[in-house]
Amino acid sequence: MAEFGVVSPLVGLLSSPVRATRSYTTLCLSVMTTSADVRRQVCSADGLPALLALLKPDEESVTVEHAAAILSHMAREYFTKTKLLSLSAHQLLLPLMTRDDPNIQRHSLETVCQLVELHQARRAVAEEGGMKSLLSLLSSEFPTIQALALTSLVSCMNDGDCRARLRDADGLSTIVSFLGNKDVSDLHLRAATALSLCLHDAENMTALQTSRSLELLLSLMTDAGANSDMKTCAASALAKAAHDEVNRRILHEQNVEKTFIQLLAHSDGEVVTAGLNGLSAMCGLSSGRARVGQEGGVVGVVSCAGREEGGVRDASAQCLAHISTDSPANCKLIQEADGCVALVRLLTDTQAACRSGAASTITNMAPSPLAREELSAAEVVPALVSCLEFTDVAVQRSAAEALAAMGTDSAGRSQFLASGGVASCLPLLSSASPALLTSALSLLRSMARSLEVAQEFCGNGSVSSVPFILPI
């Protein structure tokens, strides 16, 4: 029909004074505008103003429904979105979202959902009370409307003004309550995504705590019947938020470390990874590291190092490095949990994050003579030497620092020599990375307390004068 030039005449009939004509015209176009070619012809015929004029309260409901359906099709095109925004279409669409007719709600919401894909439309929608309207639709009896409202909220939460307006509308509590409704578990991931974007602002974390919604969220994350995707998203959001010092202290007050520790026993690797990342972030507080140890988290983190999922092992190695930083108590707990054996496994992993995390953990543990003895017995030094030849600079540097710490004991120096450590270390001395070069020099200074190491290094002919490796 579009090929016969009927679109332009139909657009003209949208302004007909006869109600029945407008109704049948919108019905026809609501079907035809599923075609991209028809949508372009409607725009060319300047049909958008005529369509928006049909959204007024005195128009028949069936005509409004069809007009809203046409606009939801038209909004698929980027040009149409910008045109609708310039015509202030959102001012007419938002009231329709709360009409009693579910079809009018759905079509108008579909259009708004596509409009807010434009960053400039998000604030315009928020300024017209859009956040309250979208939040009210979360209690709809129709899952399609709930899903569209959540998708719109996810887009809007990328804007700071929208997040502030949602907070003022008590939207955080509304979203958390939605997460607690198991009847809509298939929509929990979208809700958790919207909430995670809200946590970019420290003010929102404070609001969550004040309203006790944070407490409810943490209980939902450990609910055995809760959706795994929701748990992953919520835990990831809290982990990301915890990188902010203010948020980290608020979360610490809520004992979020215990929640993250409970996630480590989950069967879903992504949930476990999110929990490990959360613990790593909380270790930015010395009291957070202490709580991880007190709540039995160290054992859980060590056990995760043996999981099959590569992402879990990565996160476990990095978490071990964080929880052992400036924490002799946690270092001892790692030993008691058979962590030395786990560290050797991580040092031989194919993934760089596993090796660098394990090496950093060893550096943190090595100041303890008992820890060094157990690490040496687990043959950590040969594994670290192999890391010096790894292609990743961060791994090489971490391994060099760990070996320097292990060089405090004669056992460590003997193992270094026997493992070909000098030959593995020499190439690092010509590294273009100042940080790696510094770590390599520190390693040789430590290991050269052994006369045999110093002699092998000098006998290699790589340097003519190396005062820093003279035996002590």
pTM: 0.81
Provide the pLDDT for residue 472.
40
**Cα gap 372→412, rounded to integer Å:** 8
Q: In this structure, is residue 333 part of a structural domain?
A: no
* Domain count within the chain: 1
Q: Which domain holds residue 29?
A: 1-74
Query: Given this model, what pLDDT does residue 457 score?
Result: 78
Structure tokens at 324: 């052992």
Classify residue 254: in a domain, yes or no: no
CA 9 to chain centre: 51
pLDDT the model gives residue 225: 81
The residues near 427 (Cβ < 8 Å, ≥ 6 apart) are: none
Answer yes or no: is 9 within a domain.
Answer: yes
Among 266, 252, 257, residue whose Cα is nearest residue 298: 257
Give the pLDDT score at 463: 52
Sign of CA dihedral 239, 243, 245, 246: negative
- Asked whether residue 284 is assigned to any structural domain, the reply reads no
Distance CA 307, CA 287 (A): 28
pLDDT at 444: 87
State how far the Cα of 218 lies from the Cα of 287, in Å rounded to an integer. Answer: 19
Rounded CA gap, 113 and 104, in Å? 14
CB of 89 closer than 8 Å to CB of 63: no
Examine residue 67 and state whether it is found in any structural domain, yes or no: yes
Give a yes or no: residue 19 inside a domain. yes
Q: Spell out the per-residue pLDDT of the chain, length 472, in tens.
A: 556 578 899 999 999 999 999 999 999 999 999 999 999 999 888 999 999 999 998 899 999 999 999 999 999 999 999 999 999 999 999 999 989 999 999 999 999 999 999 999 999 999 999 999 999 999 999 999 999 999 999 999 999 999 999 999 999 999 999 988 888 988 988 998 899 899 878 899 999 888 888 888 898 888 888 888 888 988 988 998 899 899 999 999 999 999 999 999 999 999 999 999 999 999 999 999 999 999 999 999 999 999 988 899 999 999 999 999 999 999 999 999 999 999 999 999 999 999 999 999 999 999 999 999 999 999 999 999 999 999 999 999 999 999 999 999 899 999 999 999 988 988 888 888 999 999 999 998 899 888 888 888 777 654 543 444 444 4
16 backbone φψ class: left, alpha, beta (φ>0; ψ -120 to 50)? beta
Which residues 6+ apart lie within 8 Å of 428 measured at CB? 388, 396, 400, 436, 437, 439, 440
State the pLDDT at residue 3. Answer: 62
Domain assignment present for 54: yes
Tell me the DSSP string of 244-297: SHHHHHHHHHTTHHHHHHHHTT-S-HHHHHHHHHHHHHHTTSHHHHHHHHHTTH
Separation CA 87–CA 174 (nearest Å) = 31
Question: Tell me, what's the pLDDT at 461?
Answer: 52
Do residues 333 and 299 touch, judged by C-beta distance below 8 A? yes
CA torsion angle for 88, 93, 98, 101 (degrees, to 10)?
160
How many CB atoms neighbour CB 66 within 10 A?
Answer: 26
pLDDT at position 369: 94
Report residue 410 as tokens.
């004669």
Widest Cα–Cα separation across the chain:
103
The verdict on residue 143 lying in a domain is no
In this predicted structure, what is the pLDDT of residue 2? 55
pLDDT at 141: 93
How close are the terminal C-alpha atoms of the chain, in Å?
93
Helix (H) or strand (E) holding 140: none
